[in-house]
């Protein structure tokens, strides 16, 4: 039996032993549990004491990470090795936030000078737009910026710019258009004036159907307003790793911001893809975001696994996914500003680890990435928390909150905190039968109804959750938080033996849609419809 097999076996045994143990008893028996199962990394604090674990489990999980080669793969990633082997690419989003004097080699070249040069170009542009020295074609100020992109070219900038809304100062208003459903672009344009609007067309490939279609709609709108292609182009910039395609679409070099093929779409917000973020909150805040991520990178590279936040989150996720059979993982930000975090993490996690084939092409032997879902916490409480507390599935949760809010409404922020803390406690402790009986006994209900109600009002508890806490949702804390999840997903991919950096599973639908579109453009079907496609054709 290999080391790995024996570790999995011991973890299975541990699960059987812990299955009958209640976390509230573990807590009661060990007053040091919270202190021992929590840690600070930079601006982030993680409480992982409300998990179905003990010291031996944690030690086994860390050994699993070690035996799976997490440290070696991590070092290979940071060193620019070609770890995305199915696309023949290095994975170097960490170089985008590395120190300016760092040296990170990719195919023998240090990539840091080009990263820093592109950041400088971004800085000049951002500063000029915010200061009003770059203006629209008619000399008017740019008051609104529309980011046109999808997936990684949308979700990261959209999530971050919403999270950092209080840092906008006199920055322009931001709008995001991703969906090829034309209503999104129409509704957005209805609010805007061409002379004050800048469009950022963000696409790594500069070939994505949705983005190119939306860019064309925006450009038509500008052309109608200005009647001149040159003026139209003054209101557009491109962000891409395909400079050639941007050039073919008429974008001048000084209106094209670049990133590289070693930056995966879902890992790209740290690059020029973050232009909308930087325009909104200013370059100083964008650099703080990078700094926060760098701090987490350093922690990930240097902390022992037992005190390594991304590694701990990763192995806890693996523990529930593979040993306890949890199919989903909930992300519950107690922060309206983080309302887009679950959607962002869906792409980060599910596009990375939704795989059924190992690096060598053989089928995986265990389950891989869970379904990631969630909503801001208090809204979720009045919607789906019923299932978290009394449903039949175990749903591990991440509960996130800032100690300080960013409004003057301190009392309301305290309510938010109270809810976040109470839910973690309710999930863990549940309600004992004695507590419930005492509550019901104090009511005026008859004994028959009491018995029935007792069953329905039982809270079993013993439901796992992590709490991720930060002083305030600052650019630096947010940078660390995003990098934390990136590295968590990476570690899990290594443990499952999969390539977390390709996304072949999205291709088939795209290919088929092209064929269907051609048929829809051609027209009607003859005879009885034999498929949905035929039926739609004949129904139109």
Ligand X SMILES: O=P(O)(O)OC[C@H]1O[C@](O)(CO)[C@@H](O)[C@@H]1O
Strand partners, 401: 469
- Give residues with Cβ within 8 angstroms of 491, minimum separation 6: 65, 70, 74, 310, 311, 314, 315
**Token pair belonging to 201:** 């067309």
Indicate the residue among 93 and 266 with the shorter CB distance to ligand X. 266
Distance CA 388, CA 277 (A): 34
Closest residue to ligand X, judged by C-beta, is 265
What's the length of the chain?
Answer: 540
Q: Who contacts 114 (Cβ-Cβ below 8 Å, separation ≥6)?
A: 260
Q: Which stretch binds ligand X (CB under 6 A): 66-74, 147-155, 158-166, 449-457?
A: 147-155
Q: Which of 210, 295, 351, 375 is catalytic?
A: 351
Among 150, 263, 281, 482, binds ligand X (CB under 6 A): 150
For 125, the token pair is 């542009």
| Backbone angles phi and psi of 440, in degrees to 5 | -70, -35
Closest contact distance (angstroms) between CB of 341 and ligand X is 17
Q: Where are the alpha helices (DSSP H) in 191-281?
A: 209-226, 229-233, 243-248, 275-281
Residue closer to ligand X, measured from CB, 132 or 515:
515
Sign of CA dihedral 291, 295, 300, 302: positive
Which residue number, 69 or 250, has a Cβ lying nearer to ligand X?
Answer: 250
- Is there a catalytic annotation at residue 519? no
Spatial strand order of the sheet with 144-148 comes to: 173-177, 144-148, 197-202, 236-240, 256-258
Neighbour order of strands in the sheet with 38-41: 38-41, 44-47, 465-470, 397-402, 328-333, 371-374
Site for ligand X in 200-239 (CB under 6 A): 203-205, 208, 211
Nearer to ligand X, 7 or 202 (CB): 202
Is 510 a residue of the active site? yes
Give whichever of 93 and 476 is closer to ligand X, judged by the CB atom.
93
Q: Does 266 bind ligand X (CB under 6 A)?
A: yes
Q: Restricting to residues 340-369, name those near ligand X by CB under 6 A.
A: 351
- Taking the complex as a whole, the smallest distance from the CB of residue 503 to ligand X amounts, in Å, to 5
Least distance (Å) between residue 321 CB and ligand X:
22
Nearest distance from C-beta of residue 265 to ligand X, angstroms: 3
490 vs 76: CA distance, rounded Å: 12
265 binds ligand X (CB under 6 A): yes
Q: Which of 506, 512, 520, 524 binds ligand X (CB under 6 A)?
A: 506
153 forms part of the interface with ligand X (CB under 6 A) = yes
Minimum distance from CB of 323 to ligand X (Å)? Answer: 30
Tell whether residue 500 is a contact of ligand X (CB under 6 A): no
CB nearer to ligand X: pick between 258 and 395 = 258
Number of residues that bind ligand X (CB under 6 A): 14
* SS3 per-residue string spanning 391-417: CCCCCCEEEEEECCCCCCCHHHHHHHH
Residue 382: active-site member: yes
CB 506, min distance to ligand X, A: 4
69 backbone φψ class: left, alpha, beta (φ>0; ψ -120 to 50): left
Antiparallel, parallel or unpaired: β 44-47 and 105-106: unpaired
Closest to ligand X by CB, 204 vs 476, is: 204
Tell me: does residue 152 bind ligand X (CB under 6 A): yes
Stretch that binds ligand X, among 112-120, 178-186, 198-206, 525-533 (CB under 6 A): 198-206
Binding site for ligand X (CB under 6 A): 150-153, 203-205, 208, 211, 265-266, 351, 503, 506
Positions annotated as catalytic residues are 351, 382, 510
């Amino acid at each position: 039996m290999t080391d790995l097999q024996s570790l999995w076996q011991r973890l299975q045994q541990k699960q059987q032993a812990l299955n009958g143990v209640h976390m509230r008893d573990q807590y009661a028996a060990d007053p040091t549990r919270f202190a021992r199962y929590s840690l600070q990394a930079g601006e982030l604090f993680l409480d992982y004491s409300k998990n179905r674990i003990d010291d031996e489990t944690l030690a086994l999980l860390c050994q699993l990470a070690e035996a799976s080669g997490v440290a070696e793969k991590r070092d290979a990633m940071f060193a620019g090795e070609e770890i995305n082997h199915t696309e023949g690419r290095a994975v170097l989003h960490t170089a985008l936030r590395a120190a300016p004097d760092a040296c990170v080699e990719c195919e023998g070249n240090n990539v840091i000078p080009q990263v820093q040069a592109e950041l400088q170009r971004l800085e000049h542009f951002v500063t000029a737009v915010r200061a009003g020295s770059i203006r629209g074609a008619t000399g008017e100020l740019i008051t609104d910026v529309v980011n046109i992109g999808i997936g990684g070219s949308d979700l990261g900038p959209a999530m971050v710019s919403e999270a950092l809304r209080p840092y906008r100062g006199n920055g322009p208003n931001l709008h995001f258009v991703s969906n090829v459903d034309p209503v999104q672009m129409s509704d957005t344009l209805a609010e805007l004036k061409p002379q004050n609007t800048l469009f950022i067309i963000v696409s790594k490939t500069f070939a994505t159907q949705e983005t190119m279609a939306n860019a064309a709609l925006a450009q038509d709108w500008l052309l109608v307003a200005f009647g001149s292609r040159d003026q139209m182009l003054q209101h557009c910039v491109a962000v891409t790793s395909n400079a050639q395609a941007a050039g073919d679409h008429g974008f001048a070099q000084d209106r094209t911001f670049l990133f590289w093929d070693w930056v995966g779409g879902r890992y790209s917000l740290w690059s020029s893809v973050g232009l909308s973020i930087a325009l909104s909150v200013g370059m100083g805040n964008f650099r703080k975001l990078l700094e926060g991520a760098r701090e987490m990178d350093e922690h990930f590279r240097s902390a022992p696994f037992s005190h390594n936040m991304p590694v701990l989150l990763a192995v806890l996720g693996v523990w529930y996914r593979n040993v306890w059979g949890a199919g989903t993982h909930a992300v519950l930000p107690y922060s309206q500003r983080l309302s887009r975090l679950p959607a962002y993490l869906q792409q980060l996690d599910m596009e990375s680890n939704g795989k059924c084939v190992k690096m060598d092409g053989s089928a995986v032997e265990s389950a891989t990435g869970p379904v990631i879902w969630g909503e801001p916490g208090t809204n979720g409480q009045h919607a789906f928390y019923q299932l978290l507390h009394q449903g039949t599935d175990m749903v591990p949760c991440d509960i996130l909150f800032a100690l300080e809010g960013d409004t003057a409404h301190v009392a309301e922020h305290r309510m938010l905190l109270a809810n976040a803390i109470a839910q973690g406690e309710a999930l863990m402790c549940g309600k004992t039968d004695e507590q419930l009986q005492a509550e019901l006994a104090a009511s005026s209900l008859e004994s028959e109804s009491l018995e029935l109600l007792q069953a329905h009002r039982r809270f079993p508890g013993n439901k796992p959750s992590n709490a991720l806490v930060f002083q305030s949702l600052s650019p630096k804390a947010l940078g660390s938080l995003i990098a934390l999840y990136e590295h968590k997903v990476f570690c899990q991919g290594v443990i499952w033996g999969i390539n977390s950096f390709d996304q072949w599973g999205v291709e088939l639908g795209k290919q088929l849609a092209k064929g269907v579109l051609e048929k829809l453009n051609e027209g009607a079907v003859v005879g009885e419809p034999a498929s949905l496609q035929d039926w739609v054709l004949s129904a139109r």
